[in-house]
Amino acid sequence: MLTHVRKRDVLLVRLTGELDQCSASGIRRDMDALLSDTRIRHLVLDLGDMPFMDSSGLGVILGRYRMLQLRGGTVSLMHLSPQVKRVYDLSGMAKIIPVIEEKEAEE
């Protein structure tokens, strides 16, 4: 499940629940519906209510990154649970998709 807030060209999406292969398709579909507005260039994913993610989640995040990269945009993440952070760190994706603080997201 997800909720979202939009500010100018930034879309903040808050994900809730667990992100595995089972929930990935719904989350992907809902995010892509929001991102079909091509004025959105930056996606911030707030994972504060998502205690669990497996490598299916990495695929979802990477897929959205590729989409926004084509628009010259970015993807960033915030509020990673310890489990999510472990999976994320292993992927090495932090080099292209940074984990940011609340303050940075507001800017």
Partner 1 sequence: MKTLNHMRLQFDARPENESFARIAVSAFAVPMNPTMDVLSDVRTAVSEAVTNAIVHAYREQGGVITLEAALREDGMLLLDIADQGCGIADIEQAMQPFFTTQPEKERSGMGFAVMQSFMDDVRVRSALGQGTTVHLEKRVRALPETAPDVPVM
- Binding status of residue 55 toward partner 1 by CB under 8 A: yes
Cα gap 98→93, rounded to integer Å: 8
- Binding status of residue 58 toward partner 1 by CB under 8 A: yes
- Binding status of residue 54 toward partner 1 by CB under 8 A: yes
Q: In what order do the strands lie in the sheet with 2-7?
A: 2-7, 10-16, 42-49, 74-78
Residue among 29 and 103 whose Cβ is closer to partner 1 = 29
Task: Tokens for 61, please give them.
Answer: 């995040």
User: Smallest distance, Å, CB 78 to partner 1?
Assistant: 20
Taking each helix axis from N to C end, the angle separating 55-69 and 82-91, rounded to the nearest 10 degrees, works out to 60
- Binding status of residue 1 toward partner 1 by CB under 8 A: no
Cα gap 41→7, rounded to integer Å: 11
Q: Which of 3, 5, 37, 86 is in the footprint of partner 1 by CB under 8 A?
A: 86
- Binding status of residue 22 toward partner 1 by CB under 8 A: yes
State the amino acid at position 73 in one-letter form.
Answer: G
Residues lying near partner 1 in the complex (CB under 8 A): 18, 20-22, 24, 28, 52, 54-56, 58-60, 62-63, 82-83, 86-87, 90-91
